[in-house]
């Protein structure tokens, strides 16, 4: 069941009759209805799974696409290892750290790191968003160029704090956090996604506990992405920060990353 969506109504619907079986599967898996009044719809389309707000003034649906669109453009022209996120997690010649993205969202940052050669584990606690992400990874795995990239991405659905506290096996070298925050990004894409997801997700009021768990688990560093002028997360102060135009990365260095 989807506890986080108790305040909003969500239904599952197939946009073509041929996808009715898949819609029924998702509805059963997520504990959602397929009929009745709803604020949002998890829709099965030929292009993949998508989430849409319902109503006359609603923006268009959101889905995860690692093959085409903005993510593909960034993969091809985003600047490679010169990107700020690459510097923040410690990508350097001979070093491609194992990264845990504990607040995966739609997986864009994790995909960038996977493009650079990092083995990346993603955690998403909101089941609807995790479903979009799972669907996007499955579709991307069939693409000749993108398939080898998403093969470096492993998705876990659940509460990141609990999963980090109960982590089994080798710990990630770097943990990457991007807690939900009142983003000030003016792009139409981000505004649409924030409008869609905020009723389902809210702000991450447990960000200090998220940081605490990450600092215990990570072997080399924790990186927190924040709006550029936002305060640091309550807790230990970062060792240093990298500032961009709209965002910054607070780096909590624990051990040097070496080739």
Under CATH, which number does the domain 70-253 receive? 3.40.50.150
Joined together, the tokens standing for residue 21 give 């079986």
Is 185 assigned to a binding site? no
Mean pLDDT to the nearest integer, 116-141: 96
In whole angstroms, what is the distance from residue 142 CA to residue 138 CA? 7
Mean pLDDT to the nearest integer, 113-131: 95
List every span in the chain annotated with CATH 3.40.1630. 3-53
**75 vs 115, residue with greater confidence:** 115
Q: 179: helix, coil or strand?
A: coil
List every span in the chain annotated with CATH 3.40.50.150. 70-253
Phi, psi of 161 (to 5 degrees): -60, -50
Is 135 assigned to a binding site? no
Contact 107, 98 (CB under 8 A): no
pTM for the whole structure: 0.89
69 burial level (CB within 10 Å; 0-12, 13-18, 19+) = exposed
Give me the pLDDT at residue 4, please: 46
Is 165 assigned to a binding site? no
pLDDT tens, residue by residue, 2-37: 444 457 899 999 999 999 999 999 999 999 999 999
Q: Among the CATH numbers 3.90.70, 3.30.420, 1.20.5, 3.40.1630, which is that of 3-53? A: 3.40.1630
Q: How many CA atoms lie within 13 A of 134 on its CB side?
A: 13
In whole angstroms, what is the distance from residue 237 CA to residue 76 CA? 35
Is 13 assigned to a binding site? no
By mean pLDDT, which of 21-35, 75-89, 139-153, 235-249 is the weakest? Answer: 75-89
Q: What is the DSSP string of 72-125?
A: HHHHHHS-GGGSHHHHHHT-BTTB---EEESS-TTSHHHHHHHHTT--EEEEE-
User: Closest Cα partner for 12 from 49, 57, 47, 56?
Assistant: 49
Is 74 assigned to a binding site? no
């Amino acid at each position: 069941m989807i506890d986080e969506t108790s305040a909003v109504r969500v239904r599952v619907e197939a946009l073509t009759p041929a996808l009715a079986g898949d819609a029924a599967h998702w509805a059963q898996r997520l504990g959602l209805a397929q009929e009745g009044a709803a604020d949002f719809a998890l829709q099965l389309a030929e292009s993949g799974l998508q989430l849409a707000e319902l109503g006359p003034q609603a923006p268009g649906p959101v889905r995860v696409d690692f093959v085409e669109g903005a993510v593909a453009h960034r993969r091809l022209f985003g600047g490679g290892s010169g990107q700020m996120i690459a510097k923040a997690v410690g990508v350097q010649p001979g070093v491609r750290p194992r990264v845990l993205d504990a607040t995966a969202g739609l997986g864009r940052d994790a995909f960038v790191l996977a493009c650079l050669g990092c083995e990346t584990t993603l955690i998403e606690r909101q089941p609807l968003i995790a479903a979009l992400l799972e669907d996007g990874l499955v579709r991307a795995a069939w693409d000749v160029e993108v398939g080898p990239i998403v093969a470096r991405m492993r998705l876990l659905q659940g509460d990141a704090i609990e999963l980090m506290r109960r982590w089994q096996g080798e710990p990630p070298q770097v943990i990457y956090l991007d807690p939900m925050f009142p983003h000030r990004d003016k792009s139409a894409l981000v505004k649409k996604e924030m409008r869609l997801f905020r009723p389902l997700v809210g702000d991450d009021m447990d960000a200090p506990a998220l940081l605490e768990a990450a600092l215990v688990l990570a072997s080399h560093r924790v990186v927190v992405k924040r709006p550029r002028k936002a305060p640091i997360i309550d807790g230990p102060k970062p060792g240093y920060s990298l500032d961009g135009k709209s965002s910054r990365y607070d780096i909590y260095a624990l051990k040097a990353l070496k080739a």
